[in-house]
Amino acid sequence: MRTLITNIKELIQVRETPLKKVSGAAMAILPTIENAYLLIEDNIIADFGKMENLPTISPEKTIDAAGKVVLPAWCDSHTHIVYAGNRVQEFVDRINGLSYEEIANRGGGILNSAKKLNETSEEEIYNQSKLRLEEVMSQGTGAVEIKSGYGLTVEGELKMLRVIKKLKENYPVEIKATFLGAHAFPTEFKENHAGYIDVIINEMLPKIDEENLADYIDAFLETGYFSIEETEKIMEAGKKYGLTAKIHVNQFTAINGIEACVKHNALSVDHLEIVTDEDIEILKDSETMPVALPSCSYFISIPYTPARKMIQAGLPIALASDFNPGTTPSGNMNFVVATACIKMKMTPEEAINAATINGAYAIGISETHGSITKGKRANLIITKPITSYYQMPYAFGTNLIDEVIIEGKLI
Ligand code: NIG
Ligand code: FE
């Protein structure tokens, strides 16, 4: 099946460096072709270029993109899309003055979601989660990482990962699964951290491996959650099963966690609302992608990742949604990109690189996703007629997406 897109006003290519990510000053560069065509063969980008060089082809389908912008679909490298119910009451409690920490200390927060998840059937969790997946696909997300971490019991974690597996099987979007058993200590292990880590390593991991349910491993490395030493144990155990680490770190406090993650070759370190100069030094020349989650900062009113300082230091940045019931009940990557521009002072070019090729790197799929490159997957956003791609972050509350193509098909 061949689909030809013609008369594209601006074709945003996004180009990866040889390292398959874009860092520092290169983040300001966004290769763009004006008045372009793009040819899709089955699920692959077969060709693209200037309209004046359009070869003679006879496609089965033609899409006229006059006045429109075409760019790679978003690669959202950090979500918790699979969950049960919601946490609207905590939202209102925060408006009335309680902090995220105070709510968690009262048994709310992650433990609240874990209780709901363990009380809900696998089928019901699937039905709730697929609606969120369908929503983010319609908002231009073509690849997504989904974490477990609201089970916190052997059965609960397996249930979540099985739901993610089922989503993988039933939807064309590229999905990577991350095991986040180390998201919080269940109440019964509050005074027995070693006991819960033993459950994670000796009960959960072997079962997950048996059913091949995870691609990555995560932990919430934070004051009051998992310490550096505890997170190191989790990363080492994951490595034995071939699971590379992607770690929640530096959300509320900087406790040298990034150093431990880089030492263990984490693929990404995520959140980074609080970042020290030492953290930046450690990330330089590492293979670890720093991931910022601006919708989380927005929703729970915490600092934004200091993107300017990090880019200035030569670091890459990826942008992701963190879609979850507690700190970010939204998976809209258009809002993430706009918020990165508005609040983190990333330029539109930097933000688009961060939400496409660098997001793809942070889930290990930058060879096949995240840019308009011949041979890569045909995962594309076609906008409505707009003046330029600047309009996307500028008109932050307007849906400017006309069509989304995933694996070569309009969704
Ligand atoms: O990424 N920080 C840890 N985990 C999630 C939020 C968890 C929750 O509140 O449900 C996050 O923000
Ligand atoms: Fe998260």
pLDDT per residue as tens digits for the range 340-370? 999 999 999 999 999 999 999 999 999 999 9
What pLDDT does 345 receive? 98
Q: Are residues 225 and 321 in the same domain?
A: yes
What pLDDT does 30 receive? 96
Find the 355 Cα to ligand 2 centroid distance in Å. 16
Tell me whether residue 86 is in a domain: yes
Q: Are residues 168 and 103 in the same domain?
A: yes
pLDDT tens-place string over residues 376-391: 999 999 999 999 999 9
Q: Are residues 151 and 275 in the same domain?
A: yes
What pLDDT does 16 receive? 82
What domain range includes position 64? 2-72+371-410
Task: Tell which of 322, 342, 361 closes a domain.
Answer: 361
**AA letter at 291:** V
- The helix-helix angle for 154-170 and 122-138 (nearest 10°) equals 40
HEC per residue, the chain? CEEEEEEEEEEECCCCCCCCCCEHHHHHCCCEEEEEEEEEECCEEEEEEEHHHCCCCCCCEEEECECCEEEECEEECCCCCCCCCCCHHHHHHHHCCCCHHHHHHCCCCHHHHHHHHHHCCHHHHHHHHHHHHHHHHHCCEEEEEEECCCCCCHHHHHHHHHHHHHHHHHCCCEEEEEEEEECCCCHHHCCCHHHHHHHHHHHHHHHHHHCCCCCEEEEEECCCCECHHHHHHHHHHHHHCCCEEEEEECCCCCCCHHHHHHHCCCCEEEECCCCCHHHHHHHCCCCCEEEECHHHHHHHCCCCCCHHHHHHCCCECEECCCCECCCECCCCHHHHHHHHHHHHCCCHHHHHHHHCHHHHHCCCCCCCCCCCCCCCECCEEEECCCCCCCHHHHCCCCCCEEEEEECCEEC
What pLDDT does 397 receive? 96
- Domain harbouring 174, CATH code: 3.20.20.140
Q: Are residues 329 and 390 in the same domain?
A: no
The answer to the question of whether 251 is labelled as a binding residue is yes
Q: Count up the domains in the chain and report the number.
A: 2
Q: Are residues 170 and 282 in the same domain?
A: yes
The answer to the question of whether 271 is labelled as a binding residue is no
Q: Are residues 154 and 33 in the same domain?
A: no
What pLDDT does 19 receive? 80
Per-residue tokens: 254: 């900087």
What pLDDT does 64 receive? 98
How much is the pTM? 0.98
Find the 20 Cα to ligand 2 centroid distance in Å. 24
Q: Tell me, what's the ipTM?
A: 0.97
Find the 270 Cα to ligand 2 centroid distance in Å. 8
Find the 51 Cα to ligand 1 centroid distance in Å. 46
Q: State which ligand 1 atom lies nearest to the alpha carbon of 220.
A: 3
The answer to the question of whether 218 is labelled as a binding residue is no
Q: Are residues 176 and 128 in the same domain?
A: yes
Neighbours of 345 (CB within 10 A): 13
Tell me whether residue 318 is in a domain: yes
Residues 234-245, mean pLDDT to the nearest whole number: 98
Ligand 1 binding pocket, CB closer than 6 Å:
109-110, 113, 220, 248, 251, 296, 322, 324-327
Tell me whether residue 98 is in a domain: yes
Q: Are residues 113 and 228 in the same domain?
A: yes
Tell me whether residue 366 is in a domain: no
- The helix-helix angle for 154-170 and 110-119 (nearest 10°) equals 80
pLDDT tens-place string over residues 17-61: 878 999 999 999 999 999 999 999 999 999 999 999 999 999 999
From CA 103, how far away is CA 56, in angstroms rounded? Answer: 63
- Domain harbouring 24, CATH code: 2.30.40.10
Q: Are residues 108 and 66 in the same domain?
A: no
Q: Are residues 394 and 353 in the same domain?
A: no
Q: Are residues 220 and 90 in the same domain?
A: yes
The pLDDT confidence band at residue 233, using thresholds 50, 70 and 90, is very high
Q: Are residues 189 and 265 in the same domain?
A: yes
The pLDDT confidence band at residue 260, using thresholds 50, 70 and 90, is very high
